[in-house]
């Protein structure tokens, strides 16, 4: 099977089988040792394998954390959007005859769809609302007092915080993927070289090759 289409699990298993079965079989180890594949070198390969496996596990963990961070963004964004959209609808009534209020609160036009634009609009709405007592007074008759507005502003900030955590988690996951792939490439190269040498060292006893996981025609 071509390395490119092998699963990561299979690549790890192939290396583990070749390394462990060489070290546990004195005949195979004795045959490959004169070609430079000493016990010490095989142990170094085992360390390389273990490092690759650890990076595979760490990469999976990192992507799990990224997925969790993404779910938190979705939940906080949904909650904040419901509150913000309702507040905007009420504000459009409360400031129907106030061009300055409409401008300060960005009430005209549709809400931005992309996250950065949405955050900018929502933050401006609550920030300007809470900085002007007249604006709060205009909203209070509609059950939007300062306490409620501050609580909803906190929901917007929770989205920003969650988005920042998501970006950090994504960066870590991508970095772990690069490290994993590099280590796997090193392991693949080692295994390919070892197979070539083992074919020479074990030419008189090809059944030993099968113990290392390689089928002999």
Burial status of residue 202 (CB atoms within 10 A of its CB: 0-12, 13-18, 19 or more):
buried
In the chain, pLDDT over 90 holds for what percent of residues?
92
* pTM of the entire predicted model: 0.80
pLDDT (tens digit per residue) in 91-145 = 999 999 999 999 999 999 899 989 999 999 999 999 999 999 999 999 999 999 9
**CA 68, chain centre distance (Å):** 9
Does the pLDDT of residue 174 top 80, yes or no? Answer: yes
136 neighbors 149 (Cβ within 8 angstroms): yes
Q: How far apart are CA 213 and CA 13, in angstroms?
A: 9
**Residue ranges of domains in the chain:** 3-211
């Amino acid at each position: 099977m071509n390395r490119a289409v092998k699963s990561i699990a299979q690549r790890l298993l192939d290396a583990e089988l070749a390394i462990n079965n060489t070290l546990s079989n004195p005949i195979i180890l004795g045959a490959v040792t004169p070609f430079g594949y000493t016990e010490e070198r095989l142990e170094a390969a085992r360390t390389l394998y273990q490092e690759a496996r650890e990076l595979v596990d760490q990469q999976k963990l990192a992507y799990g954390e990224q997925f969790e961070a993404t779910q938190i963004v979705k939940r906080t964004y949904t909650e904040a959007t419901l509150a913000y959209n309702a507040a905007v609808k009420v504000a459009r009534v409360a400031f129907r005859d106030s061009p300055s209020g409409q401008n300060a609160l960005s009430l005209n036009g549709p809400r931005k769809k992309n996250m950065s634009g949405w955050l900018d609009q929502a933050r401006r709405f609550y920030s300007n609302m809470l900085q002007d007592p007249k604006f709060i007074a205009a909203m209070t008759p509609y059950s939007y007092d300062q306490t409620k507005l501050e609580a909803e502003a906190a929901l917007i900030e929770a989205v920003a915080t969650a988005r920042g955590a998501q970006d950090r988690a994504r960066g870590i996951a991508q970095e772990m993927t690069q490290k994993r792939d590099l280590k796997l490439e090193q392991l693949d190269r080692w295994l390919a070289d070892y197979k070539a040498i083992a074919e020479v060292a074990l030419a008189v006893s090809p059944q030993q090759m099968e113990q290392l996981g390689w089928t002999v025609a």
